[in-house]
Amino acid sequence: MCGICGIFNEKNQAAITAMLDSIKHRGPDSFDARGNDNYSFGGCRLQIVGERIIPLPSTFSDNLVFLNGEIYNYRELENDLGSQGISFEHNSEEAVIFKLFQKYGERAPAYLKGMFAIAIMAEDKLILVRDKFGIKPLYYKKLGSRIIFASEIKSILQHPEVTPKINHSALDELSVFGYIASLDQTLFEGIYQVSPGHVIAFESGKKTSYKFAELQESNLLAREGDNYESAAIMLYATIKASMAQMLAHGSQEKGFYLSGGMDSSLLASVAASLSGKPVSTFTLSDSEESEDLLSARRVAKALGANHHEFKIGINDYLKELPHFIHHYENIIAGGVFDIHGGIAFQLLSEKISKHVRVAFSGEGADELFGGYPWTYTHPLGFSDRIRMRLERFRDNKKLVSLVDSLFPQPEDEDIYRKNIFDFLIKGGLANYHLWSVDRSCSAFGFEVRPAYLYDDIADFALSLPIEYKARKNETKRILKDAALPLFNQYGISDVIHRQKRGMPTAVNNIASELKELAQTLITNKTISKHPFKKYIINPIDAIMFDLFFYIFFANKGNLPDGLDVIEFYKEGVNEDLYG
């Protein structure tokens, strides 16, 4: 985990220092902002691999290499390149990346296993790269011949010539799905993401784009000769080998988010079976009676884990909410997912960061193995929900066309299920779950590894037919069968039969309290007069929208000291917000 930023074709020390300062939480171990006549750059590093802190970016002759993330196979790549007579200036992931680009050009990222956002800056060329799932973020904006890039949007907003402007098309998508479906868009007009699996290059005023990774499209049915039982065995072996690789990457102590559900329990169980010492597990709850809390406690005990439990209340939620929005850089909205999951994850992340520097989470398992009950098991009902949310945005022809292609007529449950699999693995994963996870760990200067998205696991999962994963009234079929022998070994096989809850469950009681509070702060009259009322259904929507607008448009991405949600409305700050 690191923070990177730069201005290509401009030397501006004051701007790059401000840009890096706004994201210094991402890398507490170094801070370096400087430049030459043709560019300015900044980097802050969270040291994970190696004992010596290497400056960020790394310098190779006239080339600069920035890396945010982890390259799990860089040792293997280093050995392979070395066997070809290629030498390295120093031992690092950046050195391997630079030599790969020298040898393979735009195809180089296809050799990397890991999570990464990469920038390579030379005198006449800027290259931006993002991993195939979009685990690590990377944004950019053009200002004439200049290109501004950064790990977070707030960093770009620090440039004195950048003025935030709302992207209404992206806002429409957010209101329908709960996240921005377009992989290259943000809520800020003119500020783009590097799409997952892409290389973008800027040279001589021209932009070129190359896709180095394509996610495999789902197959509904098994092919002739496929064997389910063999696939389940192979899946477990792949998960075990991949976890061993990720656990060995970096010497820091590592922990596990543990909800007591299928995904997190399997990761912690595999790690426990591989490790010679107890694993560290972490659970959050707003109630002693929480089903997840009790299940996580029992799983941790069975594993002999060093278990930590954290209790929170409505005041903790309200205190963290402005900070969450500041880091999330987006509006929290309903749609496909529950709005409270991201905040719960950040509340737990803050606690975990005091104990370990690296933690594993289960993001990606639901998308790869069909884990969302109702969404995957009842795709016709899910399509009805999305169509209902679309009604307010019928004037957005692009969005209407997107929904129509996702749910074509006549209705067909199998086709809808397949389309949902292929849809959520892209924008739903990159622009909601992974977006949130990256911000919530980087906010506290530590790293989260979404283990199921390790290349070997993900590629194998994507090759499996949907019938191995989800059917009517059944989710994560093959993942459960892959895990069963290990769960039997630890005496926790009943975890397989637990209904999926997810992070929002950790704040179920708080969510009810928040709903009541929001109704006292935001009246129907306030909503009816809101300049963005088209996007606001209830008082909580209004709060999320107002806080986002206040932080990013009134304050250019800077969080005002002591921002209090209740006082924000009691003092009428919201009334003058939109001018």
Residues belonging to the active site:
2
| Whether residue 55 has a cis bond before it, omega within 30° of 0 | no
DSSP for 31-60, please give it.
Answer: -EEEE-SSEEEEEEE---SSSS---SSEEE
Calculate helix-pair angle for 413-423, 397-406, nearest 10 degrees: 120
- If we measure between CA atoms, which residue out of 8, 321, 385 comes closest to residue 176? 385
Longest dimension (CA), the chain: 72
In whole angstroms, what is the distance from residue 500 CA to residue 494 CA? Answer: 13
Q: Which strands, in side-by-side order, build the sheet including 114-121?
A: 58-60, 63-71, 114-121, 125-130, 198-203, 206-211
| Helix-helix angle 477-490:291-303, to 10 degrees | 50
Single out the residue of 394, 431, 351 nearest to residue 153, CA to CA: 431
Three-class DSSP category at 166: strand
CA distances for 128 relative to 27, 259, 372, 444, angstroms: 20, 36, 33, 25
**Nearest-angstrom CA–CA distance, 578 and 166:** 12
Q: Please, where are the H alpha helices in 365-494? A: 365-369, 379-390, 397-406, 413-423, 435-442, 455-463, 477-490
Compute the distance between CA of residue 52 and CA of residue 72 in angstroms, rounded to an integer. 18
d(CA 158, CA 22): 8
